[in-house]
Chains A and B, each alone.
Chain A
Amino acid sequence: MAVELTAPAGPARRVSARHFVRLKLRVMGNNLRGQGWRVALFLGGALVGLWFAGSGFFLFASPGLADADRYASMVAAFGGGLVVLGWLLLPLIFFGVDETLDPARFALLPLPRRTLVTGLLTAALVSVPAVAVLLALLGLVVTAGVLGGWSAALVEVVGVLLGVLLCVAAARAVTSAFASMLRSRRVRDLAAVLLAVAAALLGPLQLIGVSALQETEWDRLDGVSEVIGWTPLGAPWTAGIDLAEGRGWAAPVKLLISALTVLALLAWWSRSLESAMVGTASAGGARAKGGPAGGAVSQLFPRAVGWARRDQFGALVAREARYWWRDARRRANLITIAVVGIFVPVLVNLGGSGFGTGGGQGFGQGAAEPSPLLVSLSMLFVGVVAAVTLANQFGFDGSAYAAHVVAGVRGQQELRARMTAFSIYVVPMLGVVAIVIAVLLGRPGWIGLTAGSLLASYGAGLAVNCFVSVLGAYALPETSNPFALNSGGGVVKSFLTMLAMLVTAVAAVPMVVAAALLGDVWHWLALPVGAAYGLGAALLGAYLAGDVLDRRQPELLATVTPRR
């Protein structure tokens, strides 16, 4: 009695959220297997999460522990609201989503959407950040318990649980919606650039926000926190506190608001999940028409590189110059340089007492009187930041670098060309920074000083980053999704970046010393000396690092080629 060909292997068993959680744990475990450093990174991440959870817990419990009921709802509304906002925005800007369980992988399985959504949500809850947030916000339960007894604590537990659900659901829904919006490569590139701008502006905005906070009165915040408490941002966190403070009628309403928000988010997620599951297969792409102008060679060279000879060096410069514009990741870096280049020196030199970050006073100068030393230091910082963009310049290319290995491009040629192409964008930007800062300081005569410091540190940075990029390259994920991120590389990456910046800063210190010692003469000498110093350093760096590169081209290719 043969079984029919199309017969299922028996009645299908129900798939529950438990399966998703087990799958996620298994995938996480397998990722760690046999990779000591990954285990270490994971443990490190878990410890950091635990530390945040612990300090968050005490922060949220402090109104209760200190019996300061006046601040209880404020802490709950503002703190909780920030947490929700963080979950909403941070994955988009910085971290990417944890795609341990990628919805696209479930596309072929006969799973009802409801099962899939609950399963994926439950699996998403099993992560270090989710657990850390839960632990931290349980501090509110202590607060509610101290202030309002058992009933308030119980309501707060429900509220916090709903709140964490809300956080995770919001993060998933937003990224999933984005993923389906970002079908076309052009939109994806644009989104990456916009997010880079947002991320670059985050620092300055934060400083402005802090200084604004210092000037407002606390009482006015009470009203704001009450309003936030009634939005989904604060509702789950303030329910128990309200009960404790005698507004018992508010608690169920707020819990209801939270629950409805979670449901709405899940419904939204469930709808966008379908398109996310179908994947981001390119729909053919817009085919750029328009007759090619001229021969292949003249098409390769952008106008800004028109001066270059039509040889290997020229081709390398032209291709790099095109890539700094056409590759969204690289363009995002250029934008970061522009924003940092203007904002940091302005904040440091013109910040006044509000957000002068103490740097001004530290060098014995008043905020009103610009100091050559401080100006040189801030310019040095900008130059360092600009140059450190090249720290993983081969990682940008990924496996495409194979073309250079096959063609046998000499290391020195390669590095000089890359510096040249990058400088086509950066040196004009640095020029603008030098002029803008000098004018804003009211000392147009200092342009030589600002420009000289910038060029010297930028050149020294190029030299240092030549070595870093050859010796410390790492693979970037080979995907067009700007939110994708290699898990685990973050620590190594930022360590290398810090190291490169530190060495560069040391290499450029003579410029600062000269600014401090030489006085007025330096205002005129700084530009020629700085430019010569920078150029010399860059050329020397390319010369020395080029030799290293020649010896380890295949190894470099292997390190920048993504696994799988």
Chain B
Amino acid sequence: MTVFLQQLVNGISLGSVYALFAVGFTLVFGVLEIVNLAHPAVLAVGALVAYTLLSTLGVGLPLAIAGTLLATGLLGLALDAAAFRPLRARRAGPLASLITSIGAALILVSAAQRVWGTEPLGYPPGIVPLRFFSAGGVTISLLQIVILGTVMVLVVALRLLMTRTRVGIAIRAVAENPETASLLGVPFNRVVAFTLFLTSALGGVAGLLVGMLFQGSVSPFMGDTYGLKGLAAIILGGMGDITGAMLGGLAIGVGEVMIVQYLSSSYRDAVAFGLLFLVLVIRPTGLLGQQRSREA
């Protein structure tokens, strides 16, 4: 039982980062109906920018988070302008966007390789002191608490943004129905650009958090792992659904950890993706989503 609770703690802290990352996938999908495969590369760039801030410039964690948010947010704007906007102008299908986003990802990764090199990097030790809190045999580290706290703050902020601000409401309107939104005078291109700013900023911070959680794993190639997990999370949670993506992320995080504990990590991917396939086939809207039909 202790081991179970301990793994639950691990799974939740892992899942919370997946959730933050998956929100980016799902929001872009909601607005543009495309899967942005450059999102994992943005996560890697975020982690690397944070490396420069934390190690080279030696700034503190709050400032590093703010800097990463801004840097990857701007990267998102550039991504929209270079990869997605020209295709929108031409009314190209989602397939074309999928491919340009792959192209953009390759460019980002190779540029990152140029700037930061290929060797895995680690943040300087002691950003978050190595401290443990135990209760009933279950240990939680200060690091895990900081990560959960950061994710929670960002999620609440996102929630407020989406429900209380004009731009948030505009995003939801576009996601609901682009034609109607456009008739109502919502500036589509600006809403999309802002969505990419927002999602990339969150993706970048997810990169920073992953970099702290898994010390020494920061490299231009780190996005690959999270790309598949993020996709899994949004399939599970219902595509385009923010709450769903978060719960999906948490579920994947906890699920992975439990499979490793009670089965074998060899089966982790097989079980996870087998379930996903079943979810898609049996309940195409995801376990939590309901707003749109995926059926033909």
User: Do A and B come together as binding partners?
Assistant: no
Residues in chain B within 8 A of chain A (CB atoms): none
Binding site for B on A (CB under 8 A): none
